[in-house]
Structures are given as C-alpha cells and as structure tokens.
Structure 1
Amino acid sequence: MLILIKPASELCPLQRRPPLRERESYITGAQSVSLALTPIQRPEMYIIGAQPLCSQLSGLSQGQRKLCQLYQDHMIYIGDGAKTGIKECQYQFRQRRWNCSTVDNTSVFGRVMQIGSRETAFTYAVSAAGVVNAISRACREGELSTCGCSRAARPRDLPRDWLWGGCGDNVHYGYRFAREFVDAREREKNYPRGSPEHARTLMNLQNNEAGRQAVYNLANVACKCHGVSGSCSLKTCWLQLADFRRVGEFLKEKYDSAAAMRIGRKGKLELVDKRFNTPTPEDLVYIDPSPDYCLRNETTGSLGTQGRLCNKTSEGMDGCELMCCGRGYDQFKTYKHERCHCKFHWCCYVKCKRCTTLVDQFVCK
C-alpha cells in the first residue's frame, strides 16, 4: 500500500521548522542500513549548522541532504536503528543457510540485496522497523528537537480510575518520520510503469511499510502501580514500544509466509498464485526466488555454508544435513567455558565458579 507523506512541519505542530517538501526527502531501507556502518559518531558533527555530517554520508540525493541538514540530530538515531535491525536479522537467521551476514562497509549485505528475494524483503522490513524504534525512543528521551513524549490518545478500554500520562515512546512521530526518510529514494525513482525495476521499487515500499507497521502495532500500554506499600490503588499508564526481539520474531513469521508477487498489466504487484490471500500492509512480499545459499557465488552474493557450525542431532535448518547441503561435516573438540556452581551470598551478591568442559562441535565441509 502506498501512503502519501504529510510535510514534516506536521510531524510536530508545536515546532516551527522549515517544512519538508514531498518528494525531496527519500531514501531506501538498504541505505538506512548503510548509515549503521558509517562512522558518524563524532559529536562535533552534530552542531547545528555544521555541514560535514551530511556531506560525508554517501548515497544521499539532493533532497535527502536537505533533510539531513534540517534534522541532523536524527541521523545518529537512524544509524542506531539500522544497527538494531542488522543485529536482529543476524539473530533471527543465525541457524539458517543465509545468516544475514554483512559483507563490507559499502554494500552492507553485498550482492544478495540485488535479488528481490524473501531475504531482501526481511532486511528492508527489519531495518525500517529499527529506524521507527530508535526515533520513537529518542523522542521520549528528549534527544530530538522536533518531538517529545507520546501524545497518543487514552485507550478506550483503560479503566476509568487509571491515569493516562507518563512519558511514552512517541511511536506516532517515529512512524511518520521513518516513513518519509526510509521510503525516500524509492519514491524518487522514475522507472517505466510495469518494468522489472518498477516491480522492485513497489516490493521495497511494501516491505518498508511492513516493518514500520510491526513496530507501530506491537506498541502496547505499560502501567506502574502507586499506593501505600505497593498496594496498586492507583495506576499510571503510557504507550511503550514492544521489545525489539518481539518485532524481529513477528517479522520472521512474516518472512516464512511471504507472498510471491509479479508485476501486473496495470503496473501493480499481483500474486503469482491467486489461491493465496492478497497481502496486507503488514505482510512481506518478494518477486525473485532465493538462491540456495549452499555454495559461495560471487554473482548472487551467496557466502555459502562451508565452515558454518551445525547441530548434528537437529532435523531443522541448523542440522548438519540441511545446513551443509549434503556435503558432510567435520567433527572437532573444543573447550567451553561457562559459569557454574553459583551461590547467593547474603547480602547481596552471587558468586560463581568457572567451569571448563570439552565438547564436540561440527562444521560443514
């Protein structure tokens, strides 16, 4: 679903800042990920009016640089959000043939991203989700000049004697700003309607939106009890982001059920198999089949599974049979160090011993 973006002046009506022109401030989910690996952590680069930050970020269009210059304080949180997305991607796929490996500081995920596969769909979604998450939290913490605590309306089902207040995560602002920023370059592209490039643009926009929707919809009400000795005679509640691990798990489920699409005669994506339900804005879509990721392939960007650890007893994707693609595996022994024999001492600390055990490990040939 394509959503038109309101000017940035409407993101926070109490702040008088120059409005952002539509179609001038766009960037891809993949490029927001590249910000995560760009060394922009120098505090002096965030002084108002400083130009080095925006000039040193590669891949920005003219409109994106204007957005960067107007909202320099947002850039570091966009990078932080992309880092969060990368880490979550690597966690969710740690036991898969494709384990969300980054390649270098320029292309991040390498040639894999050139294929409109399920894996690319997940990467766009989780990186967009990371940006929403980081911006929403930065608003609550008072780190951004154009937003503050959440102004979400009181939920209708909240008990009447509970207070609606506190300083909640501003997921509404985070969603809107991330939508404008992350979708930027996709909306600036002007490929012929119905072309393969146009199909890929529509795919990216769909998956960006799915990532943002995940953070927005999983945000929930958190409450704190007040009263004598914690009697909870009164509660104060606010809007709070879900733990990002939950977002990652939700998007992983969407990855498993992602819909295969193709470009139709009307220049819109349509299902390859009409027996399935039409994807909603929360669903992931893809247009190309995935490589098998078994062997290293410079053309597709597959790193292969040679040298990957596998589980000999598992019948799942982390099992040696599937992970190693039938090539077999090598066994070796290694020492495992862990805390053990932990005891609680009054008051108030835990003391543990360090145990070393010899364990078997298996590596794909």
Structure 2
Amino acid sequence: RRKKPLFVTFSEPETLPSQPRLNLTNKNFNAKNIDMRLTQLAPSVLVCIAFMSAAMQALWNDDDGSDSYLKDSRWWSLHRLAYRDRDWNVREAQYHFSRRQWSQFSPKKCSFDPELIRAALQGVNMALRECERQMATERWNCSRIAANYQYGQPNIFGRLLWRGIPETAFTLAIISAGVTASIAAECKRSLTCCPCHLTQVDNSGAPQNAITRPGCDHNIKFAKGFAKRLLDKTEKGRDVRYISLLHNYNTGRRAVAKTMKKRCLCHGTSGSCTYRTCWKEVASFQKIGQLLKMQYTKAVKVMQGSPVKIFKTIRPSLGDSGRRRRRRILNLVKVEEHSNRLTRPRRSDLVYYENVSSDFFCERQTYWSVLGTRQRICDAHGGNCSHICCGRPYRTEYYKHVDEKCNCRFIWCCEVKCEVCITDKHRKVCS
C-alpha cells in the first residue's frame, strides 16, 4: 500500500518578510513517495538543502528518469581493482554501487564476501578484453572512455550505451556473461555463499560417496541468480529500452549456460575406468564471446508489444516437477518489414530498437563517446581496411619490432641463452 506523503514545513520568526510558498521536489525523494513542501525558508537553509540533495544524488542515484539510464553501471570502472596483488578495502568501492546493488553484498544475504566482489569485477575485466577481441574488425572496437559522473558519463562507455543499437546489445550481453562466468568459476573454491554442487558418479552401480573429487562444480544456477540481482534488479523503467536491456542481459547469461562443457574423471584399479565422476564447467570465455558475436551479426530489431506491460504471461507449460505453471516473458515483438505477423524474439537473440546511419562510427562524436575510425589499425590482407576506414584512404606505417628472446639455444649445462632481435614490420592505418 502506498505511503502517505510526508509534509515537512519550516517557519522563520515573524520579523522576516513572508515569502511565496515553494515546492522543491527532489527526484530521489519522488521515488520514495516523499514530497517536501517548504515555506518561508531563509536563503541559507535553501542553499544547505540544495547541497545535501546534490550530494545524495551523486552518491546514491536511484532516479527512474531517462537521465539515470545505466547509471548503476558505474561500478564497471572498478574492473582494474580485481587484479590488485595486495588486499584492498571493499568499502572503497561502495559508492560506485547504487544502494540496491550494494544490498546484494549485505551479510543478511550471505553475499558480503570480498572474493565474491572481486570475482564480479574480474568478470567485467574479462568481458571488456573479449569485447575488444571480438569487435577488432568492426568500426566500433569496444573503445572505452574515462567515466565522468559530473558531465553525465557514468560508465566506461559513456552515452553510447543510451542508444538502442546492436553494438549496445552486444556490450550488455557480454558484460552479463562475464559476471556470470566469473562467479560460476569462483564457486569451485567453495565460497561460503556459493554452495558446492558435486555431480553423482556416472555409473549407477558405484557407491555414491566412494570418491570425493577435489574442488566442486561451476555453480551456474547461483551465478545466474547473482548476476541477475546485480544487473537486472537495479534498473528501472517501463519502455522498450528497459525491456531490451533485460533481454540482452539474459541472453548473456544464457550463453554461459549453453556453452558449459562436461568433464569426467575415471576411477578404478590399474587405470581402468570402472566408474567415473562427471561435472560441468564453464567453457573458455573466448567461446562464449564467439557465440555472442554470432548473435550480434543476426541481431533482431524489436518494439514493445504493449505500451504499459513489461512482462507478458503465456499459456501454462509443464515444468520440471510435472506441474503446470505459467511462464512470464518480456513483452517484445519483432519488427519485420514485409510481414504483418507479430512474433517474439528468441531468448538467445540479441535485440535492438534503433537504427543509425552506416557511418555513425566513422567520425568522432564527443557527445556519444564515439572515437571514430581515424588512426585505426586495419588488416589489408583480410580486406577489412575499406570497411573500417569508411572508404577513406589508408597508409602504411613502418616500425621496428623488438623480440627480446629469439635464436635461443641450450648451453651445457643448464643454461639457455637468447638473442635480442629487431625486425622491420609494417601496418595499415586509416587516414
């Protein structure tokens, strides 16, 4: 039930001249159903309240307006902290998370584990490197900027993530996949909050507790749930942008689950495989990135099926327990040019809702955080220079490559000596 708005009134002595009634409403307070109506305020009080409001908005922004879209992704900029050799204070990273995100690490939810936070940051770092590898032959090469919260650039990709284009869909999906894969792999270390799932032996005739395998499974169920709470639950909205965001996040998590591979360990005397224990583990992230890149090339344009509903309930289906259950899906439909049929995108599809010109990434656009393709290195033998350079000419640059270990040879006894080789190489650069 909605709470009644709280009215707070401040009054000054009668000697002050009466001032008109003011209604200073902060967006953050609107989200909490608090309406502050202030009357007859002294200027110093107004300045103090404005300063406190700005500070709260900068640190814990939970606004549901369009300006707050993906502001909760500012913690991505902490990905470099994940590989610090020395111990780092978890509280240093607190204000890069929103309140709802930080609540996922609270002790009540058994998630306040520095290693769990570190694993999430490692997942972002892994996703960024794979994004650069997969998009190296595209006009947008997953370039990042320095996050600047003051000027409306709350994440490492800037305002580009505000656009509903295929590149944004791929970025959101691979970030979600990176967090999921990293958390799932971290579960094999038997974290307190991540239960260890030991798969039963493959041979039904073997005793169930005969072998205790070191480590444990990659707990994909826990990882998907954690990534969903950390990414999905912190965004708010009811438009096609928000629904597409949830869909692409889910596509990234599904890619991790789909590419999981089975590994088995044989047991028996004299090397015989009398019975074996099997478990599933996360595949290499390069394989996950290749799957998402393939989905990127086949991205589906969508629109919102209903201007009000976010989810749509479809007919009952038979669940794992044999009971009939209703399933909710995101309310999106495909946009097809030569068809009037309304079909839903598959859960494995990457979706977008906005078209941009083919030369959108060719020139530098500071507002959209696009660096352009000038001075980009391309591969002339692969035939992508004309594509990356947007039809502009490209030049050949010569440089010297230093190989510190070449012509290595073994010297008796127990020593390896190498030479330092300098070779001349060339590369193609867009003008």
Measured after TM superposition, the shift of residue 282 of structure 1 is: 1.6
**8 A Cα contact 2:173 2:253, kept in partner:** yes
2:156 aligns with 108
1:212 aligns with 253
Match of 1:43 among 45, 64, 87: 87
1:87 aligns with 129
Point out which structure has higher relative CO (alpha carbons under 8 A, 6+ apart).
Answer: 1
**8 A Cα contact 2:265 2:277, kept in partner:** yes
* Of 290-299 and 198-207, the range deviating more from structure 2: 290-299
Q: Which amino acid aligns with 1:64?
A: Q
The answer to whether residue 327 in structure 2 is matched with residue 278 in structure 1 is no
Distance 1:344 1:231 in 2: 40
Measured after TM superposition, the shift of residue 348 of structure 1 is: 9.6
Matches within 5 A, 1:201-350: 201-227=242-268, 230-267=271-308, 268-273=331-336, 278-290=344-356, 292-315=360-383, 319-338=384-403, 340-341=406-407
1:10 aligns with none
The answer to whether residue 128 in structure 2 is matched with residue 97 in structure 1 is no
Instruction: State the Cα RMSD in Å.
Output: 3.3
Matches within 5 A, 1:7-26: none
1:264-323 per-position Cα deviation (integer Å, ceiling 9, x unaligned): 3454322111759632222110111245311101233221011111122222xxx22111
1:120 aligns with 168
**8 A Cα contact 1:151 1:170, kept in partner:** no
Cα 1:95–1:216 change in 2 (3 A) is: same
**8 A Cα contact 1:32 1:78, kept in partner:** no
Measured after TM superposition, the shift of residue 263 of structure 1 is: 2.2
> What number of residue pairs does the alignment pair up?
318
Q: Structure 1 length as normaliser, TM-score?
A: 0.76
Unpaired runs of 5+ in structure 2?
Answer: 1-68, 148-153, 309-330
The answer to whether residue 147 in structure 2 is matched with residue 147 in structure 1 is no
Cα 1:301–1:161 change in 2 (3 A) is: farther
* Of 261-270 and 283-292, the range deviating more from structure 2: 261-270
Cα 1:173–1:351 change in 2 (3 A) is: farther
Instruction: Report percent identity of matched pairs.
Output: 31
Structure whose alpha-carbon radius of gyration is higher: 2
**8 A Cα contact 1:117 1:286, kept in partner:** yes
1:215-265 per-position Cα deviation (integer Å, ceiling 9, x unaligned): 112112111234556454543321211111111111111111110112234
Cα 1:280–1:353 change in 2 (3 A) is: farther
* Of 121-130 and 166-175, the range deviating more from structure 2: 166-175
What SS is found at the alignment partner of 2:106? Answer: helix
What SS is found at the alignment partner of 1:148? Answer: coil
Measured after TM superposition, the shift of residue 127 of structure 1 is: 0.7
* Of 216-225 and 29-38, the range deviating more from structure 2: 29-38
What SS is found at the alignment partner of 2:277? Answer: strand
**8 A Cα contact 2:82 2:121, kept in partner:** no
What SS is found at the alignment partner of 1:336? Answer: strand
2:112 aligns with 72
What SS is found at the alignment partner of 1:296? Answer: coil
**8 A Cα contact 2:104 2:229, kept in partner:** no
